[in-house]
Amino acid sequence: MSIDSVWPATTAWREGVLHLGGLAVTDLAREHGTPAYILDEADFHARARAWRDALPDGDVHYGGKAFLCPEVVRWLGPLGLNLDVCTGGELAVAQAGGMPPARVVFHGNNKSVTELRRAVAWGVGCVVLDSFTELDRLAAIAAEHGRVQDVMIRVTPGVDARTHKSIATGGDDSKFGFSLAAGDAARAVGRVRAQPSLRLRGLHSHIGSQILTLDGFAEAARRMAAFARPLGIERLDLGGGLGIAYRPGDPQPPTPSELVAVLQKETGDLHLSVEPGRSIAGPSTVALYTVGTVKGPYVSVDGGMSDNPRPAMYGAAYTTRLASRASTAAPRAATVVGKHCESGDILVRDAGLPADLAPGDILAVPASGAYQRSMAGNYNHVPRPPVIAVRDGAARVVVRRETEDDLLRLYR
Ligand SMILES: Cc1ncc(COP(=O)(O)O)c(C=O)c1O
Ligand SMILES: N[C@@H](CCCC[NH3+])C(=O)O
């Protein structure tokens, strides 16, 4: 494994300056400002293709919650991917990006009546049912529309995914899905089959996110297949969850083919779908920040927990590098902090940055493509950063920078 394995595919360092998609980050920062997310389009596409190639006979739904905008939606069709959305807002982005509704799967543990009506009226390919209340609601809505809606049942297989507790979803105590152990999943199958306005396409499970070992996936697949077969159910969607490396030296995750091979071994001839999010979007994007002050161990940058809440929420660990110039100064221990009014507003702990780091220097944080822009907020009225896609020496703004006017527009 190379020391730089956490950087996107087109990464090049020239005289100390990081280049992505053939462009110097110093030029990108000058033109678009910081903080900014730089998305290496070739890297995103290659990772999506790796999933597509790993499962030629099945379906790959991109988990849009990792990062979604209309431009990403437009990439999916040519890449052969479908889309998983889990709210009305994500559905709206799918529509704005021209996603064919038949290629959309609609998730969520509390879809509103309005969201379900919209999904049915638009003709989404599949709704993944999460509760008995929702099952009855959807049956009524589909009947109202004179439709037979394809559905899957989300099953909680009782598997420990070995990840942070806030992002584990496969245990028996999860808020998601119907419990296998308690018999709810079996009851849900019977109830769907009794509804003329619903057609049971298959079963779904998703055991969690940022998972770096295969045993939990294998166990879930085994339990799901054993449950599906006697019921004559032929399709399984085994969710997303494959993790990524955030820092050089982090354990390398299995590849999509390695994961799919394990799933296929457990499920035999059942039709499979998967829903990768982080493993496609995460490694494709680098966050750029400008250093504002250096005070003792603290390096303060122009973003923070509003554009990356993951360290504060999950104790997530990142790496960073000086990306705007060469330095021969010895590395020194630094804590990269944001500009928010919280002591926990820490972006990178234990960063080794050159001792001559100074205001105006640009820091780059790799593996910033998943659950960062999509989870960004406006704490302290900080506008959210843009996303700039780079490819073959050209840059395109795919999400523009939020402005103070955007924020002020909400006030009456
Ligand atoms: C139902 C479902 N599918 C897919 C995903 C995507 O997961 P990941 O980004 O970990 O691949 C998630 C999020 O964890 C999810 O909840
Ligand atoms: N937001 C989480 C992942 C959530 C997965 C959504 N089902 C993270 O950043 O790790």
Tell me which architecture the domain covering 12-39+283-408 has in CATH: Beta Barrel (2.40)
Domain 107-276: assigned CATH number: 3.20.20.10
Average pLDDT over residues 165-182: 82
277 lines ligand 1 (CB under 6 A): yes
Q: Is 314 annotated as a binding residue?
A: yes
pLDDT of residue 4: 53
pLDDT at position 2 over 50: no
Q: Is 371 annotated as a binding residue?
A: yes
pLDDT at position 138 over 80: yes
Atom of ligand 2 nearest to the CA of 206: 7
* CA of 206 relative to ligand 1 center, distance in Å: 7
Q: Where in the chain is the domain with CATH 2.40.37.10?
A: 12-39+283-408
Among 69, 86, 126, 341, which one carries the catalytic annotation? 341
pLDDT of residue 1: 36
Average pLDDT over residues 184-206: 98
Summarised one tens digit per residue, pLDDT across range 153-172 is 999 999 977 777 777 777 77
Summarised one tens digit per residue, pLDDT across range 322-349 is 999 999 999 999 999 999 999 999 999 9
pLDDT at position 48 over 60: yes
pLDDT of residue 164: 74
pLDDT at position 268 over 50: yes
156 lines ligand 1 (CB under 6 A): no
209 lines ligand 2 (CB under 6 A): yes
* CA of 239 relative to ligand 1 center, distance in Å: 6
Q: What percent of the chain has pLDDT over 70?
A: 99
Q: Is 404 annotated as a binding residue?
A: no
21 lines ligand 1 (CB under 6 A): no
Which ligand number lies closest to the CA of residue 161? 1
* CA of 102 relative to ligand 1 center, distance in Å: 20
Atom 8, ligand 2: residue with shortest CA distance:
371
Q: How confident is the model at residue 290 (pLDDT cuts 50, 70, 90)?
A: very high
Atom 4, ligand 1: residue with shortest CA distance:
240
354 lines ligand 1 (CB under 6 A): no
pLDDT of residue 247: 97
pLDDT at position 219 over 60: yes
Summarised one tens digit per residue, pLDDT across range 222-260 is 999 999 999 999 999 999 999 999 999 999 999 999 999
41 lines ligand 1 (CB under 6 A): no
Summarised one tens digit per residue, pLDDT across range 67-80 is 999 999 999 999 99
Q: Which of 47, 55, 65, 237 to mutate to test the pocket of ligand 1 (most atoms within 8 A of CB)?
A: 65
313 lines ligand 2 (CB under 6 A): no
Summarised one tens digit per residue, pLDDT across range 375-395 is 999 999 999 999 999 999 999
32 lines ligand 2 (CB under 6 A): no
pLDDT of residue 161: 78
Q: Is 332 annotated as a binding residue?
A: no
Q: Which of 104, 111, 278 to mutate to test the pocket of ligand 1 (most atoms within 8 A of CB)?
A: 278
Q: Where in the chain is the domain with CATH 3.20.20.10?
A: 107-276
Atom 5, ligand 2: residue with shortest CA distance:
209
Average pLDDT, the chain: 96
Catalytic site residue 69? no
Summarised one tens digit per residue, pLDDT across range 101-137 is 999 999 999 999 999 999 999 999 999 999 999 999 9
Q: What is the 3-state secondary structure (H, E, C) of the chain?
A: CCCCCCCCCCCEEECCEEEECCEEHHHHHHHHCCCEEEEEHHHHHHHHHHHHHHCCCCEEEEECCCCCCHHHHHHHHHHCCEEEECCHHHHHHHHHCCCCHHHEEECCCCCCHHHHHHHHHHCCCEEEECCHHHHHHHHHHHHHCCCCEEEEEEEECCCCCCCCHHHECCCCCCCCCEECCCCHHHHHHHHHHCCCCEEEEEEECCCECCECCCHHHHHHHHHHHHHHHHHCCCEEECCCCECCCCCCCCCCCCCHHHHHHHHHHHHCCCEEEECCCHHHHHHHEEEEEEEEEEECCEEEECCCCCCCCHHHHHCCCCCCEECECCCCCCEEEEEEECCCCCCCCEEEEEEEEECCCCCCCEEEECCCCCCCHHHCCCHHHCCCCCEEEEECCEEEEEECCCCHHHHHCCCC
Q: How confident is the model at residue 3 (pLDDT cuts 50, 70, 90)?
A: very low
Q: What percent of the chain has pLDDT over 90?
A: 94
Average pLDDT over residues 263-288: 98
